[in-house]
């Protein structure tokens, strides 16, 4: 069951501006990365459903966050069907993210007041997701659609809250382009988690990248 209510989750995603996206099958590595992000100022974190037994890692990660990282809101990503959404909600997911929009997932999340952030690649998909009750839509793939898509969509639909994922980097030029275009927040994956830092267990480097990226977001908004 989700620990944080819907309004708290959505507010946290918007206020921090960055939602890291990460997957690793090793629970200890996942814990260290989660803690590094927490120490870097992150308060909403998306664990991706991308490997065998990912649900087992996620369940333990939720217990760890609830016990050791007060205020860290954990969600699940890469969800494409309602059954998977239900399973992760039962394990404590506070929000559900997908690479696509599946209308059947929306009522599963809505019944429990869990934010569903579906992946949308067109204005029509965003509109359909909003009609289904999705407060924040994930624009994906961001590196293909670009900031101009965000700006163009928000001109006739200024109420839209958008989280872009794909091609987001912890760099000023990149983040400024997205936030000036009008995104609510960004999802950031591999660029926030260098492979060499993970391999070396250099968790301090990940914390620093988070701090720097958050500072940029606050500055360019």
Q: Using one digit for the tens of pLDDT, what is the confidence trace for 185-195? A: 999 999 999 99
pLDDT digit string (tens) for the chain, length 221 residues = 899 999 999 999 999 999 999 999 999 999 999 999 999 999 999 999 999 999 999 999 999 999 999 999 999 999 999 999 999 999 999 999 999 999 999 999 999 999 999 999 999 999 999 999 999 999 999 999 999 999 999 999 999 999 999 999 999 999 999 999 999 999 999 999 999 999 999 999 999 999 999 999 999 99
Condensed to tens digits (0 to 9), the pLDDT of residues 3-21 reads 999 999 999 999 999 999 9
Residue with tokens 């059954």: 83
State the Cα torsion 204-210-211-213 to the nearest 10°: 140
The order of strands in the sheet holding 116-117 is 116-117, 96-97, 73-77, 44-48, 18-22, 185-188, 161-165, 136-139, 119-120
pLDDT of residue 136: 98
163-181 confidence digits (pLDDT tens): 999 999 999 999 999 999 9
Query: Taking the model in full, what pTM does it have?
Result: 0.97
Q: Which domains does the chain have, with CATH numbers?
A: 6-215 (3.20.20.70)
pLDDT of res. 187: 98
pLDDT score of 42: 98
User: Which is it for the CA torsion 49, 60, 214, 220, positive or negative?
Assistant: positive
In whole angstroms, what is the distance from residue 111 CA to residue 204 CA?
A: 39
């Amino acid at each position: 069951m989700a620990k944080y209510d819907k309004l708290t989750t959505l507010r946290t995603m918007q206020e921090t501006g960055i939602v890291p996206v990460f997957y690793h099958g090793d629970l200890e590595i996942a814990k260290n990365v989660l803690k590094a992000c927490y120490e870097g100022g992150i308060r909403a974190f998306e664990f991706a459903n991308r490997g065998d037994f990912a649900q087992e890692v996620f369940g333990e990660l939720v217990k760890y966050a609830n016990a050791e990282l007060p205020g860290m809101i954990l969600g699940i990503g890469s969800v494409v069907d309602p059954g998977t959404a239900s399973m992760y909600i039962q394990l404590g997911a506070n929000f559900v993210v997908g690479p696509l929009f599946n209308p059947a997932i929306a009522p599963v999340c809505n019944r429990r007041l869990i934010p569903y952030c579906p992946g949308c690649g067109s204005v029509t998909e965003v509109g359909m997701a909003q009609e289904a009750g999705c407060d924040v839509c994930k624009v994906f793939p961001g590196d293909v659609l670009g900031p101009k898509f965000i700006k163009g969509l928000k001109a006739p639909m200024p109420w839209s809250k958008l989280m872009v994922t794909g091609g987001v980097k912890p760099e000023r030029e990149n983040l400024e382009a997205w936030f000036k275009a009008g995104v609510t927040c960004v999802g950031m994956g591999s660029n926030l988690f260098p492979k060499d830092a993970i391999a070396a267990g250099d968790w301090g480097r990940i914390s620093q990248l988070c701090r720097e990226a958050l500072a940029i977001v606050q500055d360019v908004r």
